[in-house]
Amino acid sequence: MTSHSGKRNLISILDLTSDEIVEIFLSARELKKRKEPKSTLKGKVLGMVFQKPSTRTRVSFEVAMYQLGGYALFLNAQDLQLSRGEAIGDTAKNLSRYVDGIVVRAYQHQDVVELAKESTIPVINGLSDLLHPCQVLADIFTIAEKKGILSRLSSKELSGIEVAFVGDGNNVANSWINGTARLGMKLVISTPPGYEPDKKVLGEGVKLAKATGADIKVSHKPEEAVEKADVIYTDVWVSMGMEKEREERLKVFKPYQVNGRLIGKAKKDVLVMHCLPAHRGEEITDEVLDGPNSIVFDQAENRLHVQKAILEFLMG
């Protein structure tokens, strides 16, 4: 069992320093090249508490544990006593006696924070209503890979890259603020008025940007936002848990669709990214998602490699 003295969590990208992020990326690069399984997490068990559906996060974490010689235990929150009102803190204390690390996907970010606080083992945020750190770490790794800078990676190499996030100022957008602020990158988030990213996350990001040289802006003009971008990123307009707002959101977000017309305003070699699942025909058209600028499935694959590096970093 992992000793809990000095245990680390990954609740937000800001839990990592820029040097640690680079270390994780370099390790992910080695893990990606490697064909044979490893045994760095032999005998270790990852508990995976999921309150919401998942394809990529669940499968990539399970496969990652297997390929590192450990075991992953999927725990649908509906089947836990959590669903009958057991306190999240008590769940954390119990799981800490059985497993060596926890990935949690929760509706309320506060639940992730509480679980981490009461656990004596590392806790990884596998998405909350506020943040999706593992996603954006894999995304930045993917950009570095596509731009050919992985072999000489430092946060300096990333600083010239500009990302335009077009759509909802949601959990993924908030993690983009954390990631770019930490690594000194450029970010424009283009949302409809009223759908900007979380104020506190943005405030902290802008403050941190002063120290790291990042440039973080919010705009309501998607066409301007993509003009100088190296990457156009989008995500669903209706995140899990927001289904009641669907009709209203579909109307408000329409001008923010990532389609051929918007791509036409960007650089010819702009990379198009989406964390997936995509709602084809809503936030992104088939033409763009399946088009030559899209790297969405390489991006999805990299969840596996980067998470293996994260697991070794936290649980190894």
How far apart CA 216 and CA 52 sit, in angstroms, is 30
E strand map for the chain: 45-50, 71-76, 101-105, 123-125, 162-166, 186-190, 215-219, 231-234, 271-274
Q: Is 284 helix (H, G, I), strand (E, B) or coil?
A: strand
Query: With respect to ligand CP, which residue has the nearer C-beta, 184 or 197?
Result: 197
Say if strands 162-166 and 231-234 run parallel, antiparallel, or are unpaired. Answer: parallel
Q: Give the containing element (helix H, strand E) for 17.
A: none
Q: Tell me: does residue 171 bind ligand NVA (CB under 6 A).
A: yes
Query: Per-residue contact track with ligand CP, 122 to 161, x per CB under 6 A?
Result: -----x-------x--------------------------
Sheet holding 162-166, edge to edge: 215-219, 186-190, 162-166, 231-234, 271-274
State whether the Cα torsion 155-159-163-165 is positive or negative: positive
Please choose, out of 41-49, 50-58, 157-165, 288-296, the segment that lies near ligand CP by the rule CB under 6 A: 50-58
Q: Could you say which of ligand NVA, ligand CP, none residue 55 binds, taking C-beta under 5 to 8 angstroms by partner kind?
A: ligand CP
Token output for 27: 């390790």
Q: Could you say which of ligand CP, ligand NVA, none residue 170 binds, taking C-beta under 5 to 8 angstroms by partner kind?
A: ligand NVA
Please choose, out of 51-59, 142-150, 202-210, 281-289, the segment that lies near ligand CP by the rule CB under 6 A: 51-59
Query: With respect to ligand CP, which residue has the nearer C-beta, 55 or 154?
Result: 55
Q: Tell me: does residue 235 bind ligand NVA (CB under 6 A).
A: yes
CA-nearest of 120, 59, 54 to 89 is 120
Q: Tell me: does residue 234 bind ligand CP (CB under 6 A).
A: no
Q: Could you say which of ligand CP, ligand NVA, none residue 171 binds, taking C-beta under 5 to 8 angstroms by partner kind?
A: ligand NVA
Please choose, out of 156-164, 234-242, 262-270, 295-303, the segment that lies near ligand NVA by the rule CB under 6 A: 234-242
Q: Tell me: does residue 295 bind ligand CP (CB under 6 A).
A: no
Q: Tell me: does residue 170 bind ligand NVA (CB under 6 A).
A: yes
How far apart CA 311 and CA 303 sit, in angstroms, is 12
Place of tokens 């209503």: 129
Residues marked active site are found at: 105, 132, 135, 235, 275, 303
Contacting positions for ligand NVA (CB under 6 A) = 127, 170-172, 235-236, 239-240, 275
